[in-house]
Structure 1
Amino acid sequence: MRLLAHPPWLRAGLLALSCLLAVQAGTAAAQGVTDQAVKAGFVFNFIRFTQWPGVRPDDAHPLLLCAVGERPLDGQLVSLNGRRVDGRAVEVRMQVPPAEWPSCHMLFIGMGDRTESVLRGVGNLPVLTVGDQNGFVQAGGMIGLRVEDSRVRFDVNLAAAHRAGLTLNSQMLKLAGQVLK
């Protein structure tokens, strides 16, 4: 088996992701940061470590982070608005109607929404679906956030991501609690 050399920026990014996910969840309580703010940090990193089909790195259009449901992460997602991923701005849109879901790169499905109905509406579009409801990945969502032992964790439904044509970074998958294939 041949090991592939990765560019330094990718190695640095993966190291940063690993450190962030390990430290962020563990120190949140000590810093007075809410679980919702920590989850928003995870969401940003999910954007950074996902590849969408047909999206070029030099594309100037923003990465659209859309949200539906009641109080998605208690408003913490808006703190990601304007942050940059590989030179592209993240644009957060709240309470996005179904007709606009195909233009989203990520759709965060908040508590209280009809998860299975929303996931059926997204279907196999190249939209990364993320939620924090119990059983989210088992219901067909791609990344599910959860709190376990006072730490934020995440699970991944890799089969759902692949059906949508998305590529999730292998290092991120190693940090997931559970990966459904």
Structure 2
Amino acid sequence: MKVAAPTTGRVMRWKPMLLAALVFLFADLSHAETATAASLAEQRAKAVTQVVLGILSYARWPVEPSQLRLCLIGPTEYADDLVKGTTQATGRPVLVRRLLAGDARIVGECDAVYIGKLSATERSQLFTALNGHPLLSISEADDPCTVGSLFCLRVSDQQVAFEVNLDSVARSGVRIHPSVLQLSRRRAAQP
């Protein structure tokens, strides 16, 4: 009578291969999650660019610039697509550059500012410097939109919306067409 050989030896040989397959599978899933997160971040950046360009297209300065100068102030999360440079739907080029919050060139060399994360002191100093100058300001960070910025972005995976601070608009010297409110409603309605 033959005695069957124990199968534990075969199982033991398969364990390293099974472990390697599981590691490969989880690594592949992790890569897919990272790729998906990167894709979402890229989509948000493109959506922010569209909204910012839309806002800028509804703005009129006392002296219209032939080339719009947009300055990014502070660390930003969604401005990567803007930095690549762009052109408005009207064909007007938008020159984008980064400046520090305390840079004195902001007032003279920027038509609009896109504000990232700043400390309360930096924000206060920036808005004091902007006061009395025709500059459009868009805030990216979680801003209650009650002081300073004309527009405050609300970015999510589904949409990019914005709030308008009418008091800041009135004091800015930049005229904003009333249709910008409809742009805000359309963005809010998109899935």
TM category (shorter chain) comes to: 0.5 to 0.7
Matching residue within 112, 124, 139 for 1:106: 112
Consecutive unaligned residues in structure 1, runs of 5 or more: 1-28
Q: Distance in 2 between matches of 1:115 and 1:84?
A: 28
TM alignment of 1:15-54, pairs within 5 A:
32=40, 33-54=42-63
How far the C-alpha of 1:155 sits from its partner, in A, is 0.2
> TM-score normalised to the size of structure 2?
0.64
TM alignment of 1:4-15, pairs within 5 A:
none
Alpha-carbon spacing, 1:173–1:124, altered in 2? closer, same or farther (3 Å): farther
Greater C-alpha radius of gyration: 2
Q: Distance in 2 between matches of 1:84 and 1:170?
A: 19
Q: Distance in 2 between matches of 1:42 and 1:110?
A: 16
Matching residue within 64, 69, 79 for 1:64: 69
The structure whose residues are more often helix, as a share, is: 2
SS at match of 2:78: helix
Matching residue within 90, 93, 117 for 1:86: 90
Alignment of 1:95 with 2:99, yes or no, is yes
Task: State, as a whole percentage, how many aligned pairs show the same letter.
Answer: 24
SS at match of 1:176: helix
Q: 2:59, 2:174 within 8 Å by CA — same for their partners in 1?
A: yes
Alignment of 1:137 with 2:142, yes or no, is no
Alignment RMSD, CA only?
2.5
Q: 1:72, 1:108 within 8 Å by CA — same for their partners in 2?
A: no
Q: Distance in 2 between matches of 1:131 and 1:165?
A: 18
Q: Distance in 1 between matches of 2:95 and 2:79?
A: 17
What's the counterpart of residue 121 of structure 1? 129
What's the counterpart of residue 160 of structure 1? 168
Aligned length: 143
What is the CA deviation profile of residues 118-159 of structure 1, one whole-angstrom value per residue up to 9, with x for unaligned ones?
A: 222211311101012223421221000013583211000122
> TM-score normalised to the size of structure 1?
0.67
